[in-house]
Amino acid sequence: SALHAVFGQPISHSRSPAIHAAFGQAEGIALQYRTIETGVDSFPAALQAFFEEGGRGANVTLPLKEAAFALCGSHGTAARRAGAVNTLVWQQDHWHGENTDGSGLVRDLTSRHGLDLRGCRVLLLGAGGAARGVAPALLDAGITELVVANRTPARADTLVDALGEPGRAVSAYWEALNEQGDFEIIINATSAARSDTPPPKLSLGLVNSRTSAVDLNYGAAAVPFLSWARAAGCRKQIDGLGMLVEQAAAAFHLWHGRHPDTDPVYAQLRTQTG
């Protein structure tokens, strides 16, 4: 059966093996999917060893998405626009890199949570790897404006420049977000909840009665931002669990040619995650 893996550090708590096992079972596809713990420096050798064992498809997560991009001989559009790869597909003689994070988020927001992204003003908090991964797909989904705010403003400027849609993708100072009006969607793509320092405060003026708050984190790491969102009066609070399942389904499709039903796996993870 086909050998797959997710590479990252830390990786032992990854849900990806369970998700792919469930997809494989539902689709009648025999597969092995394991976790491989590796940092940036040892990633090329670890990927080579995996290949020699028969591995022909892999996911990568923190902190390897940029390293994986550099290692791939060809890239899909989403990966190129994000400058990051989360899915590797062996093609004849090289690794092809894709990025399913952004399309996974968009699919979760639209299909599962019923959001219509067209015409929306979206505030994206953060400008690291997670933000880079989802920004292009949000623009492609027809939002009107993407405002990127980051603790370190220069990184927001860099992300916005890379998106190459002046006027539609703009950066803003986090401390001056109260001048930006309100947003239909506010997305937390920071890792603030996993750090020791609290993020800069957010103004209640960012929220209207139709605002949806989205955290790319899930579990305990999604609690601070989504609690703020609830208190601020956001209509919906959405964590990153659905995106996790959808990015996996898109990777599964790239490897196996079939898009699994994500609802059963999502429901099962939800009961485990709260």
Q: Are strands 31-37 and 183-188 parallel, antiparallel or unpaired?
A: unpaired
Residue placing its CB nearer to ligand ATR in the complex, 155 or 270: 155
User: Does residue 65 have an active-site annotation?
Assistant: yes
Catalytic residue among 65, 81, 107, 151: 65
CB nearer ligand ATR, residue 31 or residue 185 = 185
Give residue number: closest CB to ligand ATR.
128
Q: Residue 128: phi, psi to the nearest 5?
A: -90, -160
The set of residues, in sequence order, having a beta carbon less than 8 Å from that of 164 and lying 6+ positions away, is none
Min CB(94)–ligand ATR separation in Å:
25
The DSSP 8-state label assigned to residue 198 in this structure reads P
Q: Kindly state the smallest distance separating residue 61's Cβ from ligand ATR, in Å.
A: 9
Q: Taking the complex as a whole, how short is the minimal distance between the CB of residue 46 and ligand ATR, in angstroms? A: 19
Pairing mode, strands 94-98 and 87-91: antiparallel
Omega before 10 within 30 of 0, i.e. cis:
yes
Which is closer to ligand ATR, CB of 82 or CB of 115? 82
Distance, C-alpha 1 to centroid of its chain: 28
Q: Taking the complex as a whole, how short is the minimal distance between the CB of residue 216 and ligand ATR, in angstroms?
A: 8
In sequence order, which residues have a C-beta less than 8 Å from that of residue 79 and are 6 or more positions away?
69, 72, 85, 97, 98, 99
Q: Which is nearer to ligand ATR, 6 or 22 (CB)?
A: 6
**Residue 66, burial from CB neighbour count under 10 angstroms (0-12, 13-18, 19+):** middle
Distance separating alpha carbons of residues 147 and 107, to the nearest angstrom: 21
Instruction: For residue 154, give the 3-state DSSP assignment.
Output: helix
CB nearer to ligand ATR: pick between 22 and 148: 148
Least Cβ distance, residue 69 to ligand ATR (angstroms): 13
Query: Which residues of this protein are in contact with ligand ATR, per CB under 6 A?
Result: 62, 126-131, 150-152, 155, 190-192, 195, 197, 199
Catalytic residues, which ones?
65
